[in-house]
Structure 1
């Protein structure tokens, strides 16, 4: 079922609905419905874009940061998951990865059409993974797309092989120090439209089993992309990430990166990891090209 909306929904109100999904109790292997949402003629909020650049560290430009369309579509992602036919509780879902493709630089003054749909789901060792697919078009031509992968944990014996460990970057890599102040989650929530309480303050995060509040995965990814974008020739065309371990706030980490040569979709680019300063913990790993 696909629904065309007259305008983007308000993310703030959807988070109130998200709290009611805690009552959902799926049994067995949940089956996800075929749901889609379309919104046409979406313009960029200049204020939101300016604040996003400031919070994430992007330089001023006439084109959008490669991660910004995800923020523009955030309310549509929420709208899908609060739909009555979506069987999973939203609180407790784990964002595990993104695959972003950008076919050209997106102008901040352009108008865009957004199409967001529930994609494939699959059983994994920890539970059920599912995708949310986002397509951004101009005059019917796709200019940006994303596959966002999320995990619903299912308790019980773990079946199947463990996921392969990500290959580590070579020792001879470059490093950039990253500092995430205690208010990073609250600042990003305002522009990223993600008000999950685990990101906002220590007390609500502790209610969900965390020792402190944690940075948004999309903030850590955007900040890494902002620090690396001037090392990519021209406009970036692809950004892949796997989220590994949370970054607690306040927190310090190191962005480790190395240039990769090759051809095709897995060709040249910059491989990166965000690693903890005082342990071998990897917060995220990915490729920008």
Structure 2
């Protein structure tokens, strides 16, 4: 019942236009929400099967972010929050996950507003998610969302820059071909409880201006992660004592253009200056869906 109330509040949350069109960014509510989490093995196994990720050893770096959705919605629907939930655009994610995470032990998850900054289409608001285990922070993520509005700083469309054509480095390697079906959005929605209509069907997406449903951004990122060679190699190594000294996965991603369902996408990566840079593109490799970087840091 509590989750249904939260979904209803999110669906009916309206923008506070008077605050969003001011010259200065609107003040962020001072709030923090938390919940205890004990990972359900059956649920996590279903997630891993959907993402083509091995169940054992390393916890998928996107899983806790997915499980924090209800906390993020509580932030967005808290008293004095000026942002509409429907219509928010997921722009980027920064994830730091320590390799010492124990999937069998309970977590405490937290979510709070972190920052807001101007964007040429409106405002970008950051929500920080963290997880603690055994009295230490083992996970920290920042999700950034675009709120479109007609604030004074917003550039008129005729002055906006056209997107540059995609040019991949010569040394890039192709890894995974992602096949997203018409049912992909509904399948991920059942796992994540993110039932945003734009992901579910052509009919429901049409009410929000989409001719086709689109894949969840976090599904696209999670599926891509399973094909990255650095993470695949790390999966073969069981947790060690070194992991308890601060070794972590650092994952950053910018969402460019959603995958329209059904579709095929292709993933690429290249090692550069100790980092794994990656791209998820359309099938013709002329437009990116997302891009980002992965770093595996060693323990102290």
Tell me the TM-score range normalised by the shorter chain: 0.7 to 0.9
**Secondary structure, counterpart of 1:205 in structure 2:** helix
Contact 1:11 1:78 (8 Å CA) reproduced? no
Partner of 1:190: 190
Partner of 1:93: 88
Query: Over aligned residues, Cα RMSD in angstroms?
Result: 2.5
Partner of 1:249: 261
Q: TM-score, normalised by structure 2?
A: 0.84
Structure 1 position 19 matched with structure 2 position 11: yes
* Cα distance, 1:161–1:35 mapped onto 2, change above 3 Å: farther
Q: CA separation in 2, counterparts of 1:151 and 1:126?
A: 8
* Cα distance, 1:43–1:163 mapped onto 2, change above 3 Å: farther
Q: CA separation in 1, counterparts of 2:233 and 2:89?
A: 30
Unaligned runs of 5+ in 1: 1-8, 263-267
Contact 2:15 2:83 (8 Å CA) reproduced? no
Per-residue CA shift, 1:232-265, capped at 9, x if unaligned? Answer: 58586111000000100011111011122x3xxx
Superposition deviation, residue 165 in structure 1: 6.8
Contact 1:11 1:193 (8 Å CA) reproduced? no
Q: CA separation in 2, counterparts of 1:143 and 1:162?
A: 39
Per-residue CA shift, 1:187-244, capped at 9, x if unaligned? Answer: 0011112111000001111111112000000000000011112145858611100000
Q: CA separation in 1, counterparts of 2:93 and 2:163?
A: 17
Per-residue CA shift, 1:163-182, capped at 9, x if unaligned? Answer: 99799531231113211111
Unaligned runs of 5+ in 2: 240-247, 296-300
Q: CA separation in 2, counterparts of 1:114 and 1:172?
A: 39
Q: TM-score, normalised by structure 1?
A: 0.87
Partner of 1:5: none
Partner of 2:245: none
**Secondary structure, counterpart of 1:210 in structure 2:** coil
Superposition deviation, residue 279 in structure 1: 5.6
Q: CA separation in 2, counterparts of 1:12 and 1:55?
A: 25
Q: CA separation in 2, counterparts of 1:117 and 1:17?
A: 18
Per-residue CA shift, 1:4-35, capped at 9, x if unaligned? Answer: xxxxx954442111111136544423332122
Partner of 1:48: 43
- Count of residues in Structure 1 that have an aligned counterpart in Structure 2: 274
Structure 1 position 172 matched with structure 2 position 171: yes
**Secondary structure, counterpart of 1:22 in structure 2:** coil
Contact 1:125 1:162 (8 Å CA) reproduced? no
